[in-house]
Amino acid sequence: MNMLYILVPLALMVLVLAVAALLWAIRNRQFDDLESEGWSVVLDDDRKPPEGNERESQARNPRAGDSPLDQ
């Protein structure tokens, strides 16, 4: 019986900490967008199309950086 005087308040403190952590996560938008992070791995949007002079230099030498032995 004496152990309940320690365990009940301890359980209530753990409950309060869990609710505080949940409220913090909700307020900091941790649950807003669950889909886009998964799709960011699948979609490859890192490359941007070349503009202006870069496009012309690629047209003249499309394999720039490769050694002549690879051709």
**Residue range 21-59, pLDDT digits in tens:** 999 999 998 887 777 777 777 777 666 766 766 555 555
Q: Could you list the residue range(s) of the whole structural domain that residue 16 is in?
A: 1-30
Q: How far is CA 63 from CA 8, 10, 59, 66, 68, in A?
A: 72, 68, 9, 6, 10
Categorize the per-residue pLDDT at 66 as very low, low, confident or very high, splitting at 50, 70 and 90. low
Q: Residue type for 67, please? A: S
CA dist., res. 4 & res. 6, Å (int): 5
Confirm whether 8 is domain-assigned: yes
So what's the pLDDT on residue 24?
Answer: 95
Q: How many domains does the chain have?
A: 1
pTM of the model: 0.47
